[in-house]
Amino acid sequence: MKGVILAGGSGTRLHPLTRITNKHLLPLYDRPMVTYAVEALVRAGIDELMLVTGGTHAGEFFRLLGNGHEYGIDRLAYGYQDQAGGIAEALGLAERFVGRDKVCVMLADNIFQRSLAPVVENFARQEKGARIVLSHVEGDEHLRHLGVAAMDGDRVTEIVEKPESPPSRFAVTGVYFYDAQVWDVIPTLKPSGRGELEITDVNNWYVGGKQMEADAVDGFWGDAGESIDAYYEVNDFVRRNAVNE
C-alpha cells in the first residue's frame, strides 16, 4: 500500500499566518504540521509516500523532509499542483506513483490521537473498493462545516458536504483509502461550484457502488486547517497529549 499526503491549498482560512508560508509548514507545538501526517502513516506501516503540494513555498517541504529517511520513509516522491484544483485533482497527480497498488490518502492538516494502523490493516484485508475514517462529533454547528456520513447501521449510504441538517454525528475525516478504480473515477468528475474536483464525489461514487467501508476512530481528531480557532485547539491538544499512538 502506498501513501499520499496532500499538502496544497491556499490556506485562506488561516490568514494572515499563511501569507508567509504553506499552512502545513506552520508549527504544531514543537514541529511542523506536516510531520504529524508523515508520522501517522509511517507508524501505520506505510513507508512509501508521495507528498503533493503547490504554491511558492513548495520547495520548503523538500528542505524539511529531504529523502524522508530521517522520518522512517523508505521512498519519498514529490508532486506539484499548479493551482488549487481540489483534493481529487491533487490525488490524480499520484497515479503513476501509486500504480495499481492500494492507496491511503491523508490531508496533512489532520491530527489523530490514536494510531491509524487498525484502519490500514482493515483496508489491506478488504477485497476491493474504498474506506473512509470517521470521527464522532457533537454539535450541529461544527458538523455543518464538515462532510458528514449518512448511515444505515454500519453502512455509509451517502456523504453530505456541509449539511444544514446533519444526517449523523459521524464526520468524514481527511483520510481516505482507495483501490485502483479511483484512477478511472477522477477523470469523470466535473468541477464543483467552486471550480474544484471534489473528493466527496469520488467517495460517493464508491458509496453508490456499495464498495465503501468505514471505520470510526476513538480519541481526538482535529483539522488544524479548518480555522484559526481550530488550529490553536489542535495545537493545545498536541502540546498536552501524545498523538498517533
Share of the chain above pLDDT 90, in %: 95
pLDDT classification of 83: cutoffs 50, 70, 90: confident
Q: What angle do CA 76, 80, 84 make, to 5 degrees?
A: 135
Number of helices (H), then strands (E), in the chain: 9, 13
What DSSP element (H or E) covers 235?
helix 228-240
The grid cell for 101 is 497498488
Whether residue 10 is predicted with pLDDT greater than 80 in this model: the reply is: no
Superfamily of domain 2-240 in the CATH hierarchy: Spore Coat Polysaccharide Biosynthesis Protein SpsA; Chain A (3.90.550.10)
Closest CA to 178 of 4, 52, 53: 4
Whether residue 220 is predicted with pLDDT greater than 90 in this model: the reply is: yes
- Report whether 34 contacts 57 (CB < 8 A): no
Q: How many residues does the chain have?
A: 245
Residue 87 has a pLDDT of 97
Mean pLDDT of 159-180: 97
Specify the pTM. 0.97
